[in-house]
Amino acid sequence: MEQVDVVIIGSGYGGAITAARLAAGGKKVVVLERGVRKGTADLKQSDSLKYIESVIDVVVSTNPAVPVSFRTGKLVGGASIPMDGAHYRVPRTSFERSKEANGRPYWPEIYSREYLNSYYDKAEPMLGIRQFEWNEIAKTGGLFAKMLHAYDANATCERARLNYTDCIGCGFCAQGCIYDKKVTLLHHYIPLAEQHGAEFRTEAEVDHLEPPKNSATGVYTVFYKRNGAPQQISGTRVIVACGGVYSAPLLLRSKTYLPNLSGHVGENFNNNGEHDFIGILPPEFDDLNSYDCFKGSDNAALMSFNWFESDGFTLHPGGGLEASVLATKLSAVNHPVLPPRAWGMDYKRFAETIYPHRIIAFSALGLADGHRAIAINPDGTPKFDNRDRTAYDKYRNRVNDIVFDMGKKTGVTIVEAVPPEQAGTTSAHLLSACRMADKKENGVVDADCQVFGYENLYVCDASVLPYALGVNPALTISAIAERTAEQILAQG
Ligand SMILES: Cc1cc2nc3c(=O)[nH]c(=O)nc-3n(C[C@H](O)[C@H](O)[C@H](O)COP(=O)(O)OP(=O)(O)OC[C@H]3O[C@@H](n4cnc5c(N)ncnc54)[C@H](O)[C@@H]3O)c2cc1C
Ligand code: SF4
């Protein structure tokens, strides 16, 4: 059987970054990626669902009692290809405030903002991250800031940190950038891995893995299918990096062979407190002659930490309006602003006069508990279950109180982008289903991302983040991947 030093499963932030550093450190690495490789020339500016589903895995629930719609990666480079570019270091407050009701911190003791800074320093140049200039902020960002200012003259927001170069603001970031203005994993990390001999094996979907049969062989065996044909590969070390939705199911499919796995696998699933709003601005806000909501990158390049210390959430505006915004409920009978129906002449007038000039989309991210778990269906695919949402609803209500109060005092009509009962069921920030902890009683992997009870088996991706961050997660996943590779290389 083929044998290498490290088999990595998945090629997003967790997989590609560990692959690059371990290969550069002299390890023989094979990355198994279920998706294909798409370069800039293969991308399109298309809103067709068929095209979007060729670059993003849209995960919908098979359980009608748990409606979810999550977005995750499915190409070489994972979700770095369609992502919206925001890369933040986790604020100190997130580490200090992320605690269970009994006071136990979610993060292992070793972690703090200061401790992670050296790993952020390594990842940022590789991902081309920079703070946008004021003249690069999308027009929707300007209106978002104006709304904050009208509410509270002391409210703050700052220029975002993005991995875009000289972006032209076409607004098709989630489809993949056809102008090559977004620095993805295909730009630096994956070429570094390949220069040092790592192989990215495409259309290789892993079913499960088995631990060493005896201490003499000492290797894990990974079972995967390529073009429908069953294959096996073994590695002294295995890193599971399938992303926030798929790593826990892979471990659960392997549970017969890994009986000592922590009971936390699949639990604590967290959508980073993402809660989305639409704001319809009053006519007096529309004083920018050239204003057009469709101009700008998907992320409007602003972030407000105004309520982070007091209430544990950030707010950030979207830029060029995504098609998904159109699908939200922009009609309501007897509403002072919205048309009565989402079709017909009233809706046409609304779309002509208000839609391109006075609508913004914005989202909260925050220190919220999760209220979902991931299990598996009999065929091994992910199955979502509900968990207690009391704490999540408390968080959501607090965010709503502030945002709706802002709407009331500024004349901005606020619409929740999903109905209240479905809050927390849509996101691209899919965290914590294999969370890290100091002890097996509290998590799935230790502070080094090694699976409790299984030496040389790691999970390294969004699912190890122990709790919501309140900011976008990709840079922190990158920092943790840098650290994981460093720890493995230090062991030899
Ligand atoms: C549209 C969109 C916009 C986003 N915008 C932002 C943003 O602005 N800022 C931010 O910080 N984050 C953003 N995110 C989230 C961010 O991209 C993810 O948090 C990040 O990519 C997670 O990295 P990962 O390594 O955990 O997983 P992924 O990047 O999802 O990579 C996992 C890889 O594993 C592969 N895989 C899964 N199962 C298997 C299997 N069984 N066998 C083999 N391969 C497998 C998948 O195909 C995928 O390529 C966005 C995501 C999306 C989809
Ligand atoms: S808005 Fe900028 S980063 Fe996004 S697709 Fe267009 S050019 Fe690329």
- Mind listing the pLDDT tens digit for each residue in 126-151? 999 999 999 888 888 888 999 999 99
* pLDDT tops 80 at residue 286: no
Give percent of the chain with pLDDT exceeding 70.
95
Check residue 293 and give its pLDDT: 64
Task: Give the range among 143-147, 272-276, 293-297 with minimum mean pLDDT.
Answer: 293-297
Domain boundaries, the chain: 3-491
What's the pLDDT band for 41 if we cut at 50, 70, 90? Answer: very high
Rounded-to-integer distance, Cα 295 and Cα 232, Å:
48
Rounded-to-integer distance, Cα 414 and Cα 398, Å:
15
DSSP E strands: which ranges in 357-456?
359-366, 372-376, 382-386, 413-416, 426-427
Full DSSP string of 223-279: EEEETTEEEEEEEEEEEE---TTTHHHHHHHTTTT-TT--TTTT-SBB-TT-EEEEE
Q: Is 168 in the pocket of ligand 2 (CB under 6 A)?
A: yes
Q: Is 208 in the pocket of ligand 2 (CB under 6 A)?
A: no
Check residue 323 and give its pLDDT: 46
Q: Is the domain defined by 3-491 classed in CATH 3.50.50.60?
A: yes
What's the pLDDT band for 118 if we cut at 50, 70, 90? Answer: very high
Rounded-to-integer distance, Cα 388 and Cα 398, Å:
18
Spacing, Cα 57 to ligand 1 middle (Å): 9
Q: What is the pLDDT of residues 304-363, one digit of tens each?
A: 999 999 999 999 998 655 544 554 567 777 777 788 887 888 888 887 777 777 888 899
What's the pLDDT band for 244 if we cut at 50, 70, 90? Answer: very high
Average pLDDT over residues 61-89: 92
Check residue 152 and give its pLDDT: 97
Q: Is 295 in the pocket of ligand 2 (CB under 6 A)?
A: no
Average pLDDT over residues 155-165: 95
Spacing, Cα 287 to ligand 1 middle (Å): 39
Rounded-to-integer distance, Cα 197 and Cα 297, Å:
35
Q: Which residues line ligand 1 (CB under 6 A)?
A: 9-15, 32-35, 56, 71-75, 78-80, 82-87, 174, 205-206, 241-244, 246, 250, 299, 428-429, 461-462, 472-474, 477
- pTM, rounded to two decimals: 0.95
Give percent of the chain with pLDDT exceeding 90.
73
Residue nearest to atom 4 of ligand 2 (CA): 173
Average pLDDT over residues 417-440: 87
Q: CA quadruple 390, 422, 87, 361: dihedral positive or negative?
A: negative
Average pLDDT over residues 441-465: 97
